[in-house]
Structures are given as structure tokens and as C-alpha cells.
A = this chain, B = another copy of it.
């Protein structure tokens, strides 16, 4: 996951910024430019992804990037400008797994305040089991609930999303699960 580095210089003019509460009624310290007065905000980022499934199995990807190299994950990544959450989730599924899917409903929304992220997962029905993993993926594999390598998952957001997906599936009805990961 990409961490947000501190802002040292103004994005507009390059001058060194100062950390202070702006005069516009804001209550938080921001990186403010003393030369051109640009205020720099740092806000949470969205990670968007899917639970690709076919029958009683889900698709996981073995990570070829840090952090958590070699651990298993659902296809997911940072949402980009110009796309919706669902479009971003579909794009990441294509980039990381090369999977052919039909997007379905929202499965989970998980806030991770410690790292300033919100993770948003959709169910996605696989149209085939032919995959074409990108450079961020060592291997793709289909797993039933019992086969999922629960202790080898990359992130708690992935574990919680898989857990509520399989629970919903056993119950025969899906809903949106909202969680906060400490």
C-alpha cells in the first residue's frame, strides 16, 4: 500500500511550506505556502476491488509486490481520477488477474483510519477460469472457503471481506458490510 508522505514544498510554486491552521475557519493544521498561500490537504484514499467468484470458489492473487510479497489477496488497488468505484474495481481485476467478470453488488466498505484508507469491494461473477495475471501477481488460483489460505492473506481488509462474502453465501442472501479496521 502506498503511504502518504509529508508535504514539504508547495505544489504550485515550490516554496517550503509551513504547518499551520488556515485562516478560513478550518480547525486542522495544513501545509500552507507562505509565498502563494496555497493550502495543501491530505485526505484518505480509496482502495477498490472485487471478490471474483464462480460457483463455490473465489479467485485470489499471490502478490508479486511489497508489502506482503507472496501473500494472497483479492484484486484491488487505488481508485483513479475519472472513474466510479465500480469501474475502478473492474479495472483492478483486469490489471491484476486478467479475469473476465460481470460486476455485481457492493460487498464491503472498510475504513482503515490508521493508514487513511477506505476499502470498497464488489462481488464479481467470473465468466471463465482463464486468467492473465499482470506484473503485480505471481499466481492466480481458485479456492473454496475451506481451501482459502486464511493465515496467508495479505491484509485484514481481504480477510474480513472474504469472511462476510462466504457467510452471506451460506445464508443465501448478500448485503453491504461496513467495518472499521483498527
Q: Report B-chain residues with C-beta under 8 Å of the C-beta of A116.
A: 81-82
A residues 32-73 near B (Cβ < 8 Å) are 38, 40-46
Cα–Cα, bound, A45→B78 (Å): 12
Q: For the complex, is A111 an interface residue (Cβ under 8 Å from B)?
A: yes
Tally of this chain's copies: 2
Distance of A178 Cα from B9 Cα, bound (Å) = 38
**Chain B binder among A11-19, A141-149, A162-170:** A11-19
Q: Apart from A83-B113, A85-B118, A109-B120, what are 17 other A-B pairs with CB-CB below 8 Å?
A: A2-B41, A5-B12, A5-B38, A9-B11, A9-B14, A11-B40, A14-B14, A27-B95, A42-B81, A43-B79, A43-B81, A44-B79, A44-B81, A44-B83, A85-B109, A105-B178, A106-B176
Bitwise, A131-147 to B at CB < 8 A (1) or not (0) is 00011100000000000
Determine if A130 is an interface residue (Cβ-Cβ < 8 Å).
Answer: no
Q: Is A153 an interface residue (CB 8 A)?
A: no
Of all A-B residue pairs in the complex, the 8 with the closest CB atoms, nearest first, are A84-B111, A9-B14, A14-B14, A81-B116, A176-B176, A84-B180, A7-B11, A25-B135
* Interface core residue of A16, A84, A113, A176 (most chain B CB under 10 Å): A84
Interface presence of A156 (CB below 8 A): no
CB distance from A39 to the nearest CB of B (A): 9
Complex-state Cα separation, A76 to B139, whole angstroms: 42
Asked whether any CB of chain B lies closer than 8 Å to the CB of A80, the reply is yes
- Find the B residue at minimum CB distance from A42: B81
Q: Does A86 contact B (CB under 8 A)?
A: yes
A62 to B172, CA, bound (A): 44
In the complex the two chains form, is B106's CB within 8 Å of A85's CB? no
For A11, the closest partner residue in chain B by CB is B7
